[in-house]
Structure 1
Amino acid sequence: MSDPNLLRHGAEELSAPFPPLLVEAEHLATTVLLGNHGRRRAGLGDDFWQYRPAMPFDEARMIDWRRSGRADTAFVREREWQIAQSVMLWVDQAASMSFGSLKDGTTKGWRAKVLGMAASLLMIRAGERVGLTGISLPPRGGEPQLQRIAAMLSEGDEADYGRPETTGMLPQSRALFISDFLGDIDPVEETLTEAADRGVRGALLQVLDPQEEAFPFDGRTIFESMTGALRHETLKAGDLKTAYLDRLAERKDRLETLARRTGWQFMTHHTGESAATALLWLHGALERRV
């Protein structure tokens, strides 16, 4: 039989990151709600939308057995209101997001999680369904879903840079991707193109640290990725500033062009800025049905 003390200790250790994340997200969401009355969007009814192949996360009660009986696979019957009110979230949890230069210790990753959590809170309390991209957490509503999202956002990724995915995205739904988008941009382009083909629209929020925007380095400097896998040493870091800033501006322009071409919204947010401003933008961007 399990030792109750060990079980409790393990549970407390596991849940330790959740309260700060939820508390900060709740405070941030409340700040935004004070100046906003929520979506008040009318639903589209219970009209049939389409049949789609069942995914691993689908519950048995969601399967349309009559339609499934005419094929070799199971099908789920989707309705318009389920599609219209579903938002899929991807928050980059790769190592690059753990960078932070601010004195208060705020990292890109923490700000991204708080914004993702606060946006989820606003949407779920407005009656919408939120899930995470992939097959691990399908879109649902209710307070328990917020706990599930917080738990999964507390996990990490060993890769240097994150890669968004479209797995689990419902056609005609919306999505929110939060990342520094400093890794290979090709997977981002592939994901947004595939999402656009499914009629998915949404928002890209690039989160950067002030140092990444200003490049305040000079003299002998060692640049190293957060995992240590990438390393570059130079004696004249100042000479790299112009080329770096040009590359960063090019990256932003490519992301903005990509978003515009696929019907998404794009914005860059810095961790030294107000999180409430970024959340207000997210709230408005996800409300647009383009």
Structure 2
Amino acid sequence: MVAIGQITEATRGGEALLRARQRAALLPDLLVEARRIVATVTSGWHGRRRRGAGENFWQFRPFVDGEPVSRIDWRRSARDDNVYLRDREWEAAQTVWLWADPSLSMLYRSQGAIVSKESRALVLVLALAELLSRSGERIGFPDVLDPISARNAAERIAGALATGRPASGFPSGDRFKRFSELVLVSDFLDPMDALIERIDHLSRRGVRGHLVQIADPAEVAFPYSGRTEFRDPETGAKLTAGRAETLREEYRALFDARRAHLADHCRHIGWSHVFHLTDRLASEPLLALHGRLSGQFQPAGQRA
């Protein structure tokens, strides 16, 4: 183990190269797993229906002052005392950016978890790419793959991740256009002030965001006891607790407060937030994301 304060750029570069090779070896299996998950949820996946300038009927909804009278459906309105508009379904392809956090903290996997946080994040991104590409959406991955509209989008993302190296850190947002959508899958363990600042920057650019916060079950339960050494995978800093169990109650309170704060902020700016544990099925957050991307209301902070 490298001593604290002696982690050099060469060391980081060697670790990054090793991790890139490990990810490349893992991606074919993750793609297979993503397609298996897609097969289990396809029956409940109806594409992304949004109000817009299409030709297909979507829904009737109550008339609101200021909307064009020409869109009133008089036949439907004659059935009761309300006035209804006839909405059509949006048919133009939208750009959906998908991002899985490449941070070192995502490698963590406790004994109670099915997979690492990184593996689950990549599976979710690939499964979502598979599903969205079937609906004709344009899919992109920041710094890895420019937006494409292709049936094999998931395979191309996997190939790009296997041969390239995603940039570390939160997406800058320079490539995201107004009204595009961004799905961020991460443990979101960065300092909260910096994280909120980055999210707000994207929101001000007109990006509609969806956060999937992934956690290992041990990060929630804090099952440690006795003398325990904790190590920050990003910096190498260490903390030794003589009796780790004495920290459990305070840790859980801080963790829950942090998660609630992030969910509340997403709700405030009109973004969505889903919390997911890696000992749960990957199909759960995938279906929750479908609801948000389809424009269906689900409270921010939903647990999946």
Among residues 259, 264, 271, which one is paired with 2:271 in the alignment?
Answer: 264
* Partner Cα separation in structure 2 for residue 268 and residue 173 of structure 1: 22
1:141-180 paired onto structure 2 within 5 Å: 141-154=149-162, 162-180=169-187
AA aligned to 1:246 is A
Q: Deviations over 1:264-285 (max 9, x none)?
A: 1111100001111111001111
Gaps of 5+ in 2: 1-20, 55-89, 298-304
Among residues 93, 99, 122, which one is paired with 1:113 in the alignment?
Answer: 122
Give the structure-2-normalised TM-score: 0.71
CA shift at 1:131, angstroms? 0.7
AA aligned to 1:242 is E
CA shift at 1:286, angstroms? 1.6
CA shift at 1:239, angstroms? 1.1
Contact 1:131 1:140 in 2 (8 A): yes
Structure 1 stretch 35-44 or stretch 20-29: which is displaced more?
A: 35-44
CA shift at 1:156, angstroms? 6.2
* Partner Cα separation in structure 1 for residue 225 and residue 113 of structure 2: 24
Change (3 A) 1:102 1:142: farther
Aligned residues: 241
Give me the identity figure in percent: 36
CA shift at 1:256, angstroms? 0.7
Contact 1:93 1:156 in 2 (8 A): no
CA shift at 1:144, angstroms? 4.6
Q: Deviations over 1:50-77 (max 9, x none)?
A: xxxxxxxxxxxxxxxxxxxxxxxxxxxx
Change (3 A) 1:222 1:195: same
CA shift at 1:147, angstroms? 2.8
Give the structure-1-normalised TM-score: 0.74
Q: Deviations over 1:171-193 (max 9, x none)?
A: 11111000001122233212221
Q: Deviations over 1:223-263 (max 9, x none)?
A: 11235612100101111111211111121111112211221
Residue equivalent to 1:183: 190
Contact 1:113 1:153 in 2 (8 A): no
CA shift at 1:44, angstroms? 4.3
CA shift at 1:137, angstroms? 2.3
1:203 aligns to 2:210 (yes or no): yes
Coordinate RMSD, CA, aligned: 2.8
Residue equivalent to 2:32: 23
Which has more radius of gyration?
2
Q: What SS is found at the alignment partner of 2:170?
A: coil
Gaps of 5+ in 1: 1-11, 46-79
1:223 aligns to 2:223 (yes or no): no
CA shift at 1:165, angstroms? 2.7
CA shift at 1:15, angstroms? 5.6
1:119-138 paired onto structure 2 within 5 Å: 119-134=128-143, 136-138=144-146
1:100 aligns to 2:109 (yes or no): yes
AA aligned to 1:97 is M
* Partner Cα separation in structure 2 for residue 92 and residue 193 of structure 1: 18
Residue equivalent to 1:278: 285
Change (3 A) 1:249 1:230: same
